[in-house]
Each structure stands twice: as C-alpha cells, then as structure tokens.
C-alpha cells in the first residue's frame, strides 16, 4: 500500500474471529475480535505495527540506536526493545515513574535495552528527554533514531493504516458490515492510522476510540492531526472526523479498570481465553460489550490490541496471593 520502508516483524493478517462463548455469556449480539494479541512478535501486540515502519525508517537512515520511552506500564517500551534487537539496533528507553518491579520494563531490560529514568512522574516530559538523549548520542558519534512515546507519529500510524486495509479484506471475505470498530486509545497512533486507512475503503463504519489516558478534547485534536499526517504520507483521501467517536475510558485514572470492566475482562478470560490488561484491554472491551448488548445492525469489531504481559503478571500475582484453593481438602489421586 506504500513504498515507505518497512521492517517486517508481524505475522499478518492477524485473525478476525467470532467469540460465541463470550457472546452467550454476555447475552449480546455478534462480536468479531481482531486478534492483534496474536501478532506473532514477542508480546508486542498492536505496537508491532508502528514499529515496522519506524524501524524501516531507522534502518534506511543507517541508525544504530533506537531512543524512545514511556512509563512503567508501557507496552511500547518492551515492544521497541525487542524490535530494535530484531533490526540490529541498540535501544535506550527514557522512563518516567518507578521502573522497579514493572514487568514490561523488566522484559525490555532483558532484551538488552538501557533504561534512562527521568526521576519524575511527568509523562509529557518524556518526549523532550528522548530528543535530548538522541542529540547527546549523536554528539558521541552514534546514529540515533528518536521516537516519541507509543511510536505515535504520522509514520508510525502508517502501520495501523495497513491494518485497516487488512481488516477491510477480512470483512469482505466474511461479507460482514460492522456496526462499529472499537479500540483503546493511548498515545493515539493506532486509532489515527485506522482512520487514515479506512478512509479509502470503509469510510462509513463508526470507529469508537476509548481514551484511557487523556481528556476527550485533547485526544480528539491529537488523533485527527495524526490521522491527517498519516493520510498525507500515504497520498490517500483525508480521514473523516465524523467517523471517530471518542469515549472517556479513564474512570478512576490511567491504568485502573472499574469493577465492571474487570468483571467483563474475567468473562472474556473464562469464556475465550483472552488476556486483557487493566490499562487498555478491559476498558475497550467493556465499551465493545455495551455496544454489542444494544444488538446493533451488524457485528461489533473489538480490536484486542495485546497487553498480555501486564495482564498475565497481575493475574499471576493475584493467584499467588490467593493461596491454596482449599488447604487440607482431599487432593484426589496422589501423583507418582
């Protein structure tokens, strides 16, 4: 769809599947699940898509180190660390907050990334510090490629524009016309790329973005700017702002899911085996379920964007603290 350099990481297309047990348990209309959790690269989920284009550009420019960043719960950081390794680059991560005990950052370090903690909790400061760190590395004779948090640039969004074409093809094969496409929105690159990529193929399908970190006014402007920039890079039609509907999924704050969101995530785990994190997945799935409960005309496409590392880590922590199921109860047959 574009001549832009791409460093392939993902196994595409990711499956688009039904979720009959989950539908029955919820008593809702049809759901189609776009399984970017099965994207086939590390546990990088949807973030694999922007990284293909960002690393394509980095390699085309002869970069030898990827500089980016995020917070303790960032899924982009480990994804970037793994992708940099796969592309033969070093990786430095500027991180806000406390990295101690964060499974995502532990994975990034295990993959060889160097963490540069900011020492503060200001998320927005990270992008500036990423640029500063890249300048310092250039001063030392390195060839850095700097990427803002989440990989959400016009170029990074091209990865999700490609995903829009992928989804359109899958929907065509199923002869399905969805009532809506629902996905979580953090730094905004995924939904922006989706809007840019849908503009030429499915401009009528509502895209519901569940904002997990920013107020709706701010995120709306940011997403539409990115979507416009991405469409210009692709030379495609301008995205339609009316196609985007934003829902505030922040609840009690970034990274926290409400009891109802957690219940629905548990249902998705128990019926279909989906691992949903409490920052992105649980929030977006709850909105997708609400829409499907209205039984609209057509299936609701819920984009499962990944986040399995924090999801698994929190489930494991819970089950480990829960103790034995029934201490002293008969255990059935003895093992060998």
Ligand X SMILES: Cc1ncc(COP(=O)(O)O)c(C=O)c1O
User: With respect to ligand X, which residue has the nearer C-beta, 170 or 187?
Assistant: 187
User: With respect to ligand X, which residue has the nearer C-beta, 28 or 212?
Assistant: 212
Minimal distance, residue 44 CB to ligand X, in Å: 9
Tokens of 252: 């009690």
Minimal distance, residue 274 CB to ligand X, in Å: 12
User: How many Cβ atoms are within 10 Å of 66's Cβ, its own excluded?
Assistant: 26
Minimal distance, residue 20 CB to ligand X, in Å: 24
User: With respect to ligand X, which residue has the nearer C-beta, 68 or 190?
Assistant: 190
- Where does this chain bind ligand X (CB under 6 A)? 45-47, 75-76, 150, 152, 184-191, 280, 305-307
Minimal distance, residue 297 CB to ligand X, in Å: 27
Q: Is 194 helix (H, G, I), strand (E, B) or coil?
A: helix
* Helix, strand, coil percentages in the chain from 3-state DSSP, rounded to 5: 45, 15, 40
Q: Are 159 and 207 in contact (CB under 8 A)?
A: no
User: With respect to ligand X, which residue has the nearer C-beta, 137 or 276?
Assistant: 276
Minimal distance, residue 244 CB to ligand X, in Å: 12
CA angle 91, 110, 52 (to 5 degrees): 45
Minimal distance, residue 75 CB to ligand X, in Å: 3
Minimal distance, residue 247 CB to ligand X, in Å: 13
User: With respect to ligand X, which residue has the nearer C-beta, 143 or 258?
Assistant: 258
Beta strand 65-70 with 144-146 is parallel
202: closest CA among 246, 233, 161, 234?
A: 161
User: With respect to ligand X, which residue has the nearer C-beta, 144 or 209?
Assistant: 209
User: With respect to ligand X, which residue has the nearer C-beta, 137 or 212?
Assistant: 212
User: With respect to ligand X, which residue has the nearer C-beta, 16 or 137?
Assistant: 16
Ramachandran class of 157: left when φ > 0, alpha when ψ lies in -120 to 50, beta otherwise: alpha
CA angle 46, 48, 54 (to 5 degrees): 125
User: With respect to ligand X, which residue has the nearer C-beta, 105 or 185?
Assistant: 185
Minimal distance, residue 32 CB to ligand X, in Å: 17
130: closest CA among 80, 174, 167, 179?
A: 80
Alpha-carbon gap, residue 169 to 155, rounded angstroms: 22
User: How many Cβ atoms are within 10 Å of 92's Cβ, its own excluded?
Assistant: 24
Minimal distance, residue 136 CB to ligand X, in Å: 26
Alpha-carbon gap, residue 267 to 272, rounded angstroms: 8
Alpha-carbon gap, residue 250 to 215, rounded angstroms: 8
Beta strands in the chain (DSSP E): 16-18, 31-35, 65-70, 90-95, 114-117, 144-146, 180-185, 207-211, 244-248, 300-304
Which residues on adjacent β-strands are paired with residue 115? 93
Alpha-carbon gap, residue 208 to 244, rounded angstroms: 6
């Amino acid at each position: 769809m574009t001549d832009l350099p791409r460093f392939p990481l993902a196994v595409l297309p990711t499956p688009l599947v039904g979720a009959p047990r989950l539908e029955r348990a919820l008593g809702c209309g049809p759901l189609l699940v776009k399984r970017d959790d099965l994207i086939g690269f590390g546990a990088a989920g949807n973030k694999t898509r922007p990284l293909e284009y960002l690393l394509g550009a980095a390699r085309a420019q002869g970069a030898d180190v990827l500089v980016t960043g995020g917070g303790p719960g960032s899924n982009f950081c480990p994804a970037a660390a793994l992708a940099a390794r796969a592309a033969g680059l070093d990786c430095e991560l500027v991180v806000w907050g406390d990295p101690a005990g964060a499974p995502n950052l532990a994975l990034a370090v295990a993959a060889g990334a160097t963490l540069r903690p900011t020492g503060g909790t200001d998320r927005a400061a990270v992008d500036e510090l990423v640029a500063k760190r890249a300048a310092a590395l250039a001063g030392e004779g390195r060839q850095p490629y700097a990427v803002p948090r989440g990989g959400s640039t016009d170029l990074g969004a091209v990865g999700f524009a490609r995903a829009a074409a992928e989804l359109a093809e899958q929907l065509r094969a199923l002869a399905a016309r969805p009532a809506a496409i629902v996905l979580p929105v953090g730094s905004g690159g995924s939904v922006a790329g989706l809007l840019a990529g849908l503009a030429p193929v499915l401009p009528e399908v509502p895209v519901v973005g569940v904002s997990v970190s920013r107020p709706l006014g701010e995120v709306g402007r940011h997403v539409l700017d990115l979507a416009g920039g991405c469409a210009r890079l692709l030379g495609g039609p301008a995205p339609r702002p009316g196609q985007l509907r934003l829902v505030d999924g922040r609840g009690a704050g970034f990274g926290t899911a409400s009891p109802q969101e957690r219940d629905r995530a548990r249902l998705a785990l128990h019926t279909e085996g989906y691992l949903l994190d409490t920052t992105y997945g649980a929030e977006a799935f709850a909105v997708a379920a609400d829409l499907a409960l209205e039984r609209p005309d057509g299936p609701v496409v819920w984009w499962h964007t990944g986040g399995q590392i924090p999801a698994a880590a929190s489930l494991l922590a819970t089950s480990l603290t829960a103790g034995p199921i029934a201490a002293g109860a008969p255990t059935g047959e003895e093992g060998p």
